[in-house]
Amino acid sequence: MASNKKVLLKVIILGDSSVGKTSLMNQYVNRKFSNQYKATIGADFLTKEVTIDDRTVTMQIWDTAGQERFQSLGVAFYRGADCCVLVFDVTAPNTFKSLDSWRDEFLIQAAPREPDNFPFVLLGNKVDLEPRAISAKRAQQWCQSKNSIPYFETSAKEGLNVEQAFLAIAKNALAQQNQTVDLYNEFPDQIKLSNAQRPNNGADACGC
Amino acid sequence: MDDIVGDKNAKFKELYNQDGVFLRQAGEMYTPMFGCTGSLYLWEHISDAESKPEVPSRFLEWRPQDFVELKTALDEGSEEWTLIESVKKRCRTSSGNMVKDFLNSIGNLNVCFSNIKSLRCSKHDVLTTFYDGSCELLASFVFPTSESREHFLGTIQAFVRLQPTRRDKSLFIVYDAASPGFKDLEKSFAALDLKTDSSFWSLLKNIKSNPYEKSMEAFAKVTGYVYNSVDDEEHYMAQDDLQRSISEIGDDASAYAVYDIPNCLPMRVDYPRCNPLTREQWRAQLNGEGQLEDVESIKTLIFRGGISPDIRRVVWKFLLGYYPWDSTEKERHALDISKMESYYKIKMQWTTFSKEQEDNFSDFSQRKSLIEKDVNRTDRVLDFYAGENNYNIFSLNNILLTYLLYNFDLGYVQGMSYLLSPIYMLLRCEVEAFWCFVGFMKQVMSNFDYDQNAMKEQLKSMYLLVNFIDPQLSKYFEDHECANMYFCFRWLLVWYKRELQQDEVARLWEVLWTGYPCKNFHLLIGVAILEHERDALMGDNNGFTEILKFINELTGKLDINLMINHAEGIYHQIKDADHLTDAVRNILGIPVAEASGLQSKPEDDRSPRKGVSEPDEIEFEKSIYSNFLSSSTGRLVFLFRP
Ligand SMILES: Nc1nc2c(ncn2[C@@H]2O[C@H](COP(=O)(O)OP(=O)(O)O)[C@@H](O)[C@H]2O)c(=O)[nH]1
Ligand SMILES: [Mg+2]
């Protein structure tokens, strides 16, 4: 049964500069790709409503600047995250090498309660480009070594696999949230009287 | 107060009547009516032989329009309501002197006009709030239109004078004929050569447009507030006037105390923006050698109005250190040549790298690829940088790569391409743009440091400045996990480049490059923006997320000239504040001597101005004060004792 409670899922996208974080987010939320996106400075987020198993949830997707030195400001954005999306560029080997440090940094700064079970999703972006530097197999191996992180190969430019990837991200985030929130949700919603339900007594009470 | 018109025979004349007035707030017992609309009346007692002296001469009345709504609220049985239900029927005479029997006046809100000691209203909205002598809120109304509120203010001008407080322009002291100081006020208004029946705002405008001569005179004399500037004779005169007027008032003076309330800012003064520096003004400053005669006055002109686009190319080269301010035409010519030579020397260092060499130099090649990716997403929406294989993008790339080798320790950091783009777009020359970029980077280099300490420091400074200017706003940030001010990060990293159009960026930057009127003026631009948006920021119980979104979405919506104007006003308020702290002084680089106070006071010295009041009373006033400050942004300068 669908619950009418508003669910907000907070998702953080991390990865080296220009791997396509902003493009992926915009492709997913606005179904658009543009060559004119500006480099992200500071942080921004977009929201999107998604339906998962009859439940409508709001995904709040956070996009931050990719350059390492700006991460010290990350604490403010990471807190309360339900899922972390790691992105690399399949044509740029360095962006793959940085994945470990992105993951570690996130776990340190966000400090989730159970770091080992915190959901990550890996996206290998720009698969429309040649030549490829990182094979799917290599990426999957890395995922295996990190407690079976789900892996998707995407192209923000062509819109390839983006929808599927974000659906998986939403599901993982929701599962994570249910795990932590279930305890507090055992009480029914408070019954509230709306104005319309108020007893109406005498519209002619005004004697003027 | 509910039964202020207990006398059934009292007759009242209607001075003002307006429907659709929304009650926002009033005394606690009226809580169920908050948010209702109703009619607002202003009644005047027609005195005759029979009338009792305790009948107030004028009062405000607000009657809810939707009686049903109110009844419903009553039937829910809140205890306070029985109190109101017991209010007796009243009789009044309306304008035609006809006796009208009023319905059971449940819920009518009455405010005796003589209790109103101050009111708050601003030109920008129709909210109007009335306070009593201890700064307690009496009632707060939202008028349906600005005309209806204007009419209301016009009506009350017939028997009271409204005087803006020096510290807060939207807060007005209400003087009636019985108030001490009323006569002085009249005189002063006469001195301002204003017709008393002129519209309320035009009256204010008149005061505002002559900030120096008129407002100081008016505010200092009339409200009796004394500026304590050492060097300004006029203020000494004002002080004399105050003392004279207090002695004239005699016994009444005890009912009217003037306080220097700690932690109050001086009134905001408007420093109007001027026209941009013109070619003629610039030329007029050049002597036979082509040397600038009066650099300070040129910088002042630039600070006040920016630079006319047709001479920006030249002047920016001075502002960014490409040419020294005192250089002659001949020297500049020589500089052009030497700068060109050295640029190409540095550039050659990377253009001659072989592929192999680059592969073995990963620190370089990684940064190179980062630059390439960044220039490809820098200002591509502008025609100048649009399209495939744009030569200008290629030039940005060259300049940034050359800068990379010029300053390899810093490297390339995201954001730099945005600092270069407007400079190159204006100069359209790699050599000049490079050296001007070097000049700009010298000013903001630390923003890009690896440890980001300079950025953190600036965010902290921003918080301190907001706290100084608008403690309510900083408190809000504090309470909503926003005190880190991270939402200002983009503003500060690239000096608002991402929030503005290219021509606005040019205007702002040239103003900031003058270094006037103080250090870190760019922070005050941010403070001005936050202050300007304060109501939206604090609305809807916004948290960090909402505030960040709101700030990010201000892009393209800022009126930068207005913000520069506000920032300058804020600077002067800070500089002249009696309670200026060392922390704030340091941020803006204000030397101790420049502070306007007779001497800088220790921060917790809260003693009032000389000869005003006994210590226990000060405590009393202070406690009222803190109430006022927490309930509104008010910075009231006067207190009336009943
Ligand atoms: N060919 C291709 N280019 C992409 C793709 N995703 C992003 N880009 C380009 O890569 C550059 C960086 O993208 P951006 O989204 O700004 O990266 P971010 O720094 O991670 O946010 C831009 O020029 C994009 O147009 C993709 O899937 N395919
Ligand atoms: Mg980005």
Instruction: Return the HEC string of B413-430.
Output: CCCHHHHHHHHHHHHCCH
pTM value > 0.80: no
Q: How far is A73 from chain B (nearest CA, A)?
A: 8
Nearest to B186, CA basis, from B152, B155, B153, B163: B163
Question: What is the three-class DSSP state of B498?
Answer: helix
Burial of residue B480 (CB within 10 Å: 0-12, 13-18, 19+) is middle
**Atom 19 of ligand 1 has which residue's CA nearest to it?**
A18
B377/A35 touch (CB, cutoff 8 Å), yes or no:
yes
Task: Judge whether B477 and B483 are in contact, CB under 8 Å.
Answer: yes
Low-confidence ranges of chain B (pLDDT < 70): 1-10, 48-55, 66-107, 134, 166-168, 179-263, 593-642
Nearest listed ligand to the Cα of residue A16: 1
Q: So what's the pLDDT on residue B337?
A: 98
Query: What are φ and ψ of residue B542, in 5° steps?
Result: -55, 140
Q: So what's the pLDDT on residue B143?
A: 87
Query: Distance (Å, rounded) from C-alpha B241 to C-alpha B253?
Result: 14
Q: So what's the pLDDT on residue A159?
A: 96
Burial state string for B105-125 with b = 16 or more CB within 10 A and e = fewer than 16: bbbbbbbbbbbbbbbbbeeee
Nearest to B464, CA basis, from B485, B487, B491: B485
Question: What is the three-class DSSP state of A48?
Answer: strand
On whether ipTM exceeds 0.90, the answer is no
H or E segment and range at residue B37:
strand B37-46
**Atom 23 of ligand 1 has which residue's CA nearest to it?**
A35
H or E segment and range at residue A11:
strand A7-14
Which CA distances in Å does B387 have to A19, B44, B401, B494, B630?
Answer: 21, 72, 21, 24, 55
Q: Which residues pair with A61 in a beta bridge?
A: A11, A46
Strands A7-14 and A83-89: parallel
Q: So what's the pLDDT on residue B8?
A: 55
Q: So what's the pLDDT on residue A79?
A: 85
Q: So what's the pLDDT on residue A181?
A: 58
pLDDT digits (tens, 9 = 90+) for A28-77: 999 999 887 899 999 999 999 999 988 999 999 999 887 878 877 777 78
Among A139-153, A175-189, B573-587, name the one with the lowest average pLDDT. A175-189
Query: Distance (Å, rounded) from C-alpha B43 to C-alpha A161?
Result: 72
Query: 10 Å Cβ neighbour count for A124?
Result: 27
Q: Hey, CA dihedral for B376, B381, B387, B389, is it positive or negative?
A: negative
Q: So what's the pLDDT on residue B625?
A: 36
Nearest listed ligand to the Cα of residue A45: 2
Contacts of A94 in chain B (CB under 8 A): 366
Question: What is the three-class DSSP state of B149?
Answer: helix
Q: So what's the pLDDT on residue B359?
A: 93
Place of tokens 């913000």: B563
Burial state string for B493-523 with b = 16 or more CB within 10 A and e = fewer than 16: bbbbbbbbebebbbbbbbbbbbebbbebbbb
Query: Distance (Å, rounded) from C-alpha B159 to C-alpha B296?
Result: 50
Looking at beta carbons, which pairs linking A176-181 to residues 24 or more positions away fall under 8 Å?
Answer: A176/A82, A176/A83, A176/A118, A176/A119, A177/A7, A177/A9, A177/A82, A180/A113
Q: So what's the pLDDT on residue B374?
A: 95
Query: Distance (Å, rounded) from C-alpha B544 to C-alpha A77?
Result: 9
What's chain A's Rg over C-alpha atoms?
Answer: 21
Structure letter (DSSP) for residue B219: I
Contacts of A39 in chain B (CB under 8 A): 374, 377-378, 414-415, 417-418
Query: What are φ and ψ of residue B256, in 5° steps?
Result: -140, 100
Task: Judge whether B235 and B228 are in contact, CB under 8 Å.
Answer: yes
Nearest to B60, CA basis, from B159, B177, B204, B198: B159
Given B71, B490, B549, which is nearest A205 (Cβ)?
Answer: B71
For residue A44 and ligand 1, the question of a CB distance below 6 A is answered with no
Nearest to A152, CA basis, from A127, A181, A185, A117: A127
Given B72, B377, B549, which is nearest A39 (Cβ)?
Answer: B377
